[in-house]
Structure 1
Amino acid sequence: MKNIYKNFKKRSSDLPVEYEFPAGSFLEFQVQENQSKLRALETMVNSLQSEIDAKDDDVLVLRKKFDKIQGFNLNLSIQLDLKKKKMDAGTDVLLTIRVFEAMLNDSVKSLRCFTKLLIDLMRRAGWDLEKAANSVYSDIDYAKKGHFRYVFLSHVCLGMFRNFDVNDFGLGDSQVACNGNGSIHVENSTIHNGYLRELIEHVASNPMEILSKNPKCEFSRFCEKKYEELIHPNMESSLFNNLDRKEKVLDSWKSLSVFYELFVRMASSIWLLHTLAYSFDPVVEIFQVERGVDFSMVYMEDVLGKCSFLGKTRPQVGFTVVPGFKVGRTVIQSQVYLTGLKCTE
């Protein structure tokens, strides 16, 4: 337009007065200008459409994640509802027994880990392990040298399970549900769902944090009581006296961090098992086998597993290693060390 105007001005002196600027040129320039605007708008539309497509892709990904979260929450809700309902059908009862067995197996694993560490500390402290085992169970005919370690496992197991058949685990007062966020007082007549609720709260908490936040709650006192029963002060002094002073906290039963943590986790697993046992209706029963009783496959399991009978005589129980349980009419066998066996390992 500027060029046309300049050319027009140059020639204006030569043009007659009646000359008019051609109208077709204006229309042509308007069309070109509009086409240019359309191309710019088309580019902008394409850019915006690309952004919309990208946002649609993001929405699709987020929707898939949301659907997964909804499905996961629905699954959790169903599981929680199942836990709250009484399990009347045989399949539900069987599933519950399997849960108890799984938790029992976890407890036994933690008991074995702690016992192994305890034996190692006793050996480092110069203990005569065979003599110590004989002071617990005397005159045991071991099937293989070194089997005296099962005596220490028995000592730890039976000590931790002592008073398991009492609703407050023998602490002597009303129950306190300790979940790391505070203490909730519960009367002795607590319904089974109350124990289940306490179980869920304890599972969701770190047992080490529970002790630090609530040193006076029932779980803390349970740990203190069981430690005093298992580890005599003279024994503790002997075990930790020769350790590097950097490894221990003086004047505390938390004498060795690894030892302390293993003990607390072991105690936590037993505490959870006890709470689960009292959420059953009827309550899970515990039993152990006396020394000298004839072996019964119904109520007992050979703790060695790979041993065979010496003759036609039935072997006898030397000592109980892990107690047994009765869940309704179902028996979870007690693990026992038998005498009169030969090892086939």
Structure 2
Amino acid sequence: MLISSIFATVSSFEASYLQLQTAHLPFNEESIKAADEALVSHLRSLSDFKQFYRYFCRNPDVGVALPVESCLEAQVQENQSKLRVLGIASDHLQAGIDRKDNEVSALRKQLVDLQKSNFKLANRLSGNLNLPSSCDVLLSVRVFDSVLNDACRATHKFTKILIDLMRKAGWDLDLAANSVHADIEYAKTGHNRYAFLSYVCLGMFRGFDLKKFGLDEGDTEILCNGHVSDSVKTHSSLKQLLEHVSSSPVELLHRNPNCEFSKFCEKKYQELVHPTMESSIFSNLDKNEEVLNSWRSLRIFYESFVNMASAVWMLHKLAISFDPVFEIFQVERGVDFSMVYMEDITRRCNLPAKTRMKVGFTVVPGFKIGRIVIQSQVYLCGLKCTE
């Protein structure tokens, strides 16, 4: 009976202590006082039990009545205390849920307000495309370079996912990289990823110098090298760019699966991931991850591809609006490295001072806008990495 009473008192102490904690936030003076008094009372009871036990150990033959309840009463008291603890914890959690619900409601309202504001701004921008000032803001090398960097980040992300899928499918990555760029001596293990990045980048930028990005069979009108057709309308391209920016590319495809951007995604996917490659990299996935409808099914793969295609698509719309017109270029293998036109893609490797480095392959093409050069990113042969 002594043990039952001790457990019951400890449970009551725990419940009172939890009540004391919860009474501080929000601050409730009466609850704090009541919990404090209960804690003191329970501590006194535990002290009485301790004194009784010591006395009983010293005088086992002396019959002393223990001033506690019966065993059943002690169990009832213990269970009631546990229920109090659970009730207090439940109230605390419910208060947290209510608080989170209020935060969610406030954030949803902010989201609706922001969406309305963005819609109004997009309409204002679209309506002001006839103003030269709006064109001047977009048609700058700084904006072009920023959009190009976004496109490069998107291709890096997609390439990483593609390499992971190939690795899971059991591909020999060294052999696959060699099929993209043969007989390259990589400076470090793992640098074969730059071959796959080159494959993706050059594939995505193929046809970039054409007005329709190669979507039309008769799209032979080359924009580079100073040849610009009068049919190229700057304002029309910028308007398409702004309309594309104003919505999510994934939502755009769901909303209008037959739009020009959707055709661009289909074309580029077929160029990058041919059926044999697709069948191989997706064959070993779990059944719930199998691609059921080509590139539109595997969510992460699909979204990363669409975001990459969207970034390159926007860059093209911006590029064909420039006057003077842009030029796109890539560097052939074996060409001497030039810091004016090229940049080492690794950025962490030592360039020998006395040796003229040779280009292994182009990873990201370069651009010329008037006299301004945006360097092509290349992988060099014979590097020694400090990584």
Q: How far did residue 295 of structure 1 move?
A: 0.3
1:237-248 alignment runs, 5 A limit: 237-248=279-290
**Cα 1:200–1:79 shift into 2, 3 Å:** closer
Answering whether residue 264 of structure 2 is matched by residue 222 of structure 1, we say yes
2:341 alignment counterpart:
299
CA distance in 2, matches of 1:102, 1:146: 28
Using the TM superposition, name which of 303-312 and 133-142 deviates more: 303-312
| SS of 1:208 mapped into structure 2 | helix
| SS of 1:285 mapped into structure 2 | strand
CA displacement 1:138-172 (0-9 Å, x = unmatched): 11111111100000000000000000000100011
CA distance in 1, matches of 2:269, 2:139: 33
CA displacement 1:245-286 (0-9 Å, x = unmatched): 212342433241110111011000000000000111122211
**Cα 1:129–1:137 shift into 2, 3 Å:** same
CA distance in 1, matches of 2:307, 2:230: 26
1:338 alignment counterpart:
380
2:246 alignment counterpart:
204
1:192 alignment counterpart:
234
**Cα 1:135–1:165 shift into 2, 3 Å:** same
Using the TM superposition, name which of 158-167 and 200-209 deviates more: 200-209
**Cα 1:170–1:79 shift into 2, 3 Å:** closer
CA distance in 1, matches of 2:157, 2:359: 24
Answering whether residue 357 of structure 2 is matched by residue 310 of structure 1, we say no
* Residue identity matched to 2:179: S
Answering whether residue 154 of structure 2 is matched by residue 105 of structure 1, we say no
1:321 alignment counterpart:
363
2:184 alignment counterpart:
140
| SS of 1:127 mapped into structure 2 | coil
**Cα 1:216–1:78 shift into 2, 3 Å:** closer
1:36 alignment counterpart:
none
1:125 alignment counterpart:
169
Answering whether residue 132 of structure 2 is matched by residue 85 of structure 1, we say yes
CA distance in 1, matches of 2:351, 2:172: 30
Q: How far did residue 318 of structure 1 move?
A: 0.1
| SS of 1:335 mapped into structure 2 | strand
| SS of 1:261 mapped into structure 2 | helix
* Residue identity matched to 1:276: L
CA displacement 1:304-326 (0-9 Å, x = unmatched): 11211235111000000000011
Q: How far did residue 226 of structure 1 move?
A: 0.4
Q: Tell me, which stretches of 5 or more residues in structure 1 are unaligned? A: 1-69, 176-186
CA distance in 2, matches of 1:312, 1:93: 44
Q: Percent identity?
A: 63
Q: How far did residue 214 of structure 1 move?
A: 1.9
Using the TM superposition, name which of 192-201 and 277-286 deviates more: 277-286
CA distance in 1, matches of 2:138, 2:245: 22
**Cα 1:234–1:104 shift into 2, 3 Å:** same
Size of the aligned set, in residue pairs, is 260
1:49 alignment counterpart:
none
TM-score by length of 2: 0.62
CA distance in 2, matches of 1:325, 1:270: 14
Q: Tell me, which stretches of 5 or more residues in structure 2 are unaligned? A: 1-116, 220-228
CA distance in 1, matches of 2:203, 2:278: 16
**Cα 1:308–1:160 shift into 2, 3 Å:** same
CA distance in 1, matches of 2:129, 2:296: 40
| SS of 1:252 mapped into structure 2 | coil
Answering whether residue 274 of structure 2 is matched by residue 232 of structure 1, we say yes
Answering whether residue 306 of structure 2 is matched by residue 264 of structure 1, we say yes
**Cα 1:248–1:129 shift into 2, 3 Å:** same
Using the TM superposition, name which of 245-254 and 204-213 deviates more: 245-254
Contact 2:238–2:317 (8 Å) recurs in 1: yes
Cα RMSD for the two superposed structures? 2.9
1:275 alignment counterpart:
317
CA distance in 1, matches of 2:217, 2:240: 17
1:168 alignment counterpart:
212
TM-score by length of 1: 0.69
Q: Work out which of the two has the higher radius of gyration on C-alpha atoms and give 1 or 2.
A: 1
CA distance in 1, matches of 2:378, 2:233: 34
* Residue identity matched to 1:315: M
